[in-house]
Structure 1
Amino acid sequence: MFGIVRPCRHGMCGGLFKEWMAHLCGLCLALRDEHGHAARLVTNYDGLLVSVLTEAQAPASSPHRRAAACALRGFKGADVVEAAEGVRLAAAVSLILAAGKVKDHVEDGDGVYARRLVAAGAGRVATRWSAAGSGTAAALGFDPAPLLVAVEEQTRLERLPDPALLDLTAPTEAAVAAAFGHTAVLAGKPHNREALEEIGRYFGRLAHLLDAVEDLAADRAAGAYNPLAASGTGLADARRHCDDALHGLRLAVAELDLERRHLVHALLVKETAHAVDRTFAQANRASGEARPDSPEAPPRDPRVKPDPGGLLSLLCMSAACCTCGLYRPPWDEDRYKSCGERCDGSGCDACGQCCDGCSGCCECCNCSCDC
């Protein structure tokens, strides 16, 4: 699993969380049915936003079905989004972006990818995923070029001396904008396309910046490339860019013509804001910098063990992906947190924390919620 939108059942109303899980499981099953079991490894939180946006614009375009018991759901059945156009586009986007991410690791020789056999195998898998995603995208009338060239353009920009930060985020912004914009075509609402592309650009910028912030300390220690370090951008300036993107995202979401708005608002407005707060709280704690208006970051849990790296780390990461986060290795801080602490660090005692953006109370407040 990767992505910045990571809601949990205690930070979202029960009905909305079930809808989100329907898209997540639908994406996983679409990848399995169309591209094989190994493709399920690219299931990610942000990719399913494509499916969510398609259904929000035209619910009839995303029929649901009852799925059989699955080990990743604790051997329980579930309501899932059927492999319609929206979830198939989400699968295609996930495959292409995951392929690009793997190719980038191979080219940079990151971690285990520095080993020739691992790099060769990963390169072949990435090529296969890219071809499969491009084939599905073409069948849906989507031009995958912005996604395919994003990694190449990113590599070119990273070789420039003294690049501007927003120039470095531009390829990611263009890729996400293209994917989000095409959901308007699938839903039969072309008038939404401009706003969706704007949402994609802001969301792509946030995803790129938060990834850079999360990796900043590790990249500095390893001497690896990081957009913030390369552009001379500090955490305060990076936070300002993120806050600007969040503001633009809220305004663009408000412009959309949607038949179902609640889940889109919960994910693209509420959860992205939580992601920004969470990421910068951790980064400020790691760097020793303080920000007056940022949430107080808790001290590091002494139970968290250091990441050993190498094959063991890779195997544990694969196990975490295959179990949708049910298994977490000893070096994952979330392993020792309650579900409420993973949401925003405050738990779920206050109804105002749990139900922000909803029309009523939610399950963690011992109330009911139909939103």
Structure 2
Amino acid sequence: MFGIIRPCRHRLSENLRTEWMAHLCGLCLALRGDHGQFARIATNYDGLVISVLVEAQAGRSDSWRRTAGPCPLRGMRTASVAQGEGARLAATVSLVLASAKVRDHVEDGDGALARRPVAAAARRVAARWDRAGARSGADIGFDTAVLLDAVGRQAGVESAAGIGTSLLTITEPTETATAAAFGHTAILAGRPENQAPLEEAGRLFGRLAHLLDAVEDLVEDAETGAWNPIAATGADLAEVRRLCDDAVHGVRLALRDTKFASKGSGKLAHVLLAHELPRAVDRAFGTTGCAHTTDATHSGSGAPEFEMLGPEGSQGAPPPQSPWINPPGGPGGAPPEPPNRGRRRGLIAGCAVWSGLFCTCQVCCKDPYHDPWTGEPREGLCHKCDDCSDCCDCCDCCNCCNCCDGCDCCDGCDCGCDCGC
């Protein structure tokens, strides 16, 4: 699971959280339906923006949703998930770009991919995903050749780069690919007048994703000797930050020129692209942090007031869960009874209880769950938040008015301010 848009639960209203999860699950299930179970590992947070944009322009109807069966990542609950051409386009784009990421790791010899047999198998998977993406793209009128061409040009652009090369030269293939994906959402939604502004938004989104990935990997790449565009060009981080801030502003302006189906249909798209992108930049550059502590995130009942919708960080983090839909007593039924305080379980008994907690996703989703050996309350993995800021900052682009109500700032905002709320 990867992506730069990782909203924190306290910044989304309940309706928007439900919508966000519907598109994420819809993307995952579209990957499975079109490309098989293994393809679900290409699910990413940024890909669901494609599905969100299609639905926001076309207008939601009953045909855009279906009820999905129980899933461990939803606490074994059913859920209403997105379906249709938007979800399929998101799946196609995610699969093709994931194949590019696999090839990039193979070229860099990252981890196990430094071994020839593993690298050869990864190349075969990437080639299969390219072909599968091309087939599903053709079904919805999207030519993935532009994505594959951009991926193919990236290696040559990087090899030709050196000190003094513009970062925008290096990000151009990524910009081209994301512009095509964003622009096609207008075609699928029957809004050809939106194609130009959405292509611009996509181009800047691709630039931002490429640069933020380089910023987050800069230290690690220096330690491992991997190629990094910032180090290779000798770019100053202040200049990189300026490019990122300009891209965020450009995306916001492009959204203002995009016509959605109704006044409320573009809320989630606006929150993700106008509000969360600046926070992604702050997170990558380390200029913001979580202002919530364990004590501050719980009400008197002991229930958490917010959870991360995204992972703990950009690398090595667990996949997203949906902790807010856990039933009382834990997903999938009642949890194993915690041991009495002061009594510890033995190794074997503790392992057996831990297996039950893990298989029912309580280690990830429940907050708190009880330690299988000591019985002490523990925080579920997906409840750890490292990128959310004070609740009062959630309306940071709506300072021109007082119509935003707490943390639900874009779930009823009618201010007409520059940010498009």
CA distance in 1, matches of 2:234, 2:397: 36
- Identity of matched residues, %: 53
Residue 276 (structure 1) aligned to one of 275, 278, 281: 281
> Counterpart in 2 of 1:295?
288
CA distance in 2, matches of 1:361, 1:7: 18
**Matched residue type, 2:209:** A
Superposition pairs of residues 221-260 of structure 1, within 5 angstroms: 221-259=223-261, 260=265
| Contact in 1 for aligned 2:8/2:385 (Cα 8 Å) | no
> Counterpart in 2 of 1:177?
179
Aligned length: 328
| Contact in 2 for aligned 1:184/1:190 (Cα 8 Å) | yes
**Matched residue type, 1:237:** E
Distance 1:120 1:13, change over 3 A: same
**Matched residue type, 2:278:** A
Residue 344 (structure 1) aligned to one of 375, 385, 388: 388
| Secondary structure of 1:53's aligned partner | helix
| Contact in 2 for aligned 1:266/1:357 (Cα 8 Å) | no
Structure 1 position 320 matched with structure 2 position 318? yes
| Secondary structure of 1:2's aligned partner | coil
Point out the more displaced range, 225-234 or 192-201. Answer: 225-234
Instruction: Give the superposition deviation at 1:213.
Output: 0.2
| Contact in 1 for aligned 2:65/2:81 (Cα 8 Å) | yes
Q: Note the residue ranges of structure 1 that are not aligned, 5 or more in a row.
A: 282-293, 299-315, 329-334
Distance 1:279 1:337, change over 3 A: farther
**Matched residue type, 1:31:** L
Instruction: Give the superposition deviation at 1:337.
Output: 8.5
**Matched residue type, 1:275:** A
| Contact in 2 for aligned 1:43/1:94 (Cα 8 Å) | yes
Larger Rg: 2
> Counterpart in 1 of 2:197?
195
> Counterpart in 2 of 1:54?
54
> Counterpart in 2 of 1:353?
393
Instruction: Give the superposition deviation at 1:138.
Output: 1.1
Instruction: Give the superposition deviation at 1:72.
Output: 1.1
Deviations 1:225-247 (A, max 9, x none): 10111111121110000011111
Deviations 1:97-126 (A, max 9, x none): 000110111122122210112111111111
More helix by share: 1
CA distance in 2, matches of 1:169, 1:113: 24
Deviations 1:129-176 (A, max 9, x none): 111111101111111122112222110011114232100000000000
| Contact in 1 for aligned 2:320/2:382 (Cα 8 Å) | no
Instruction: Give the superposition deviation at 1:361.
Output: 3.6
Instruction: Give the superposition deviation at 1:320.
Output: 2.8
| Contact in 2 for aligned 1:196/1:256 (Cα 8 Å) | yes
TM-score of the superposition, structure 1-length normalised?
0.81
| Secondary structure of 2:67's aligned partner | strand
Distance 1:170 1:242, change over 3 A: same
| Contact in 1 for aligned 2:113/2:119 (Cα 8 Å) | yes
Q: Note the residue ranges of structure 2 that are not aligned, 5 or more in a row.
A: 292-314, 324-360, 365-378, 414-421
| Contact in 2 for aligned 1:253/1:265 (Cα 8 Å) | yes
Structure 1 position 29 matched with structure 2 position 22? no
Deviations 1:174-206 (A, max 9, x none): 000000001111000100000000000110000
| Contact in 2 for aligned 1:32/1:39 (Cα 8 Å) | yes
CA distance in 1, matches of 2:59, 2:72: 28
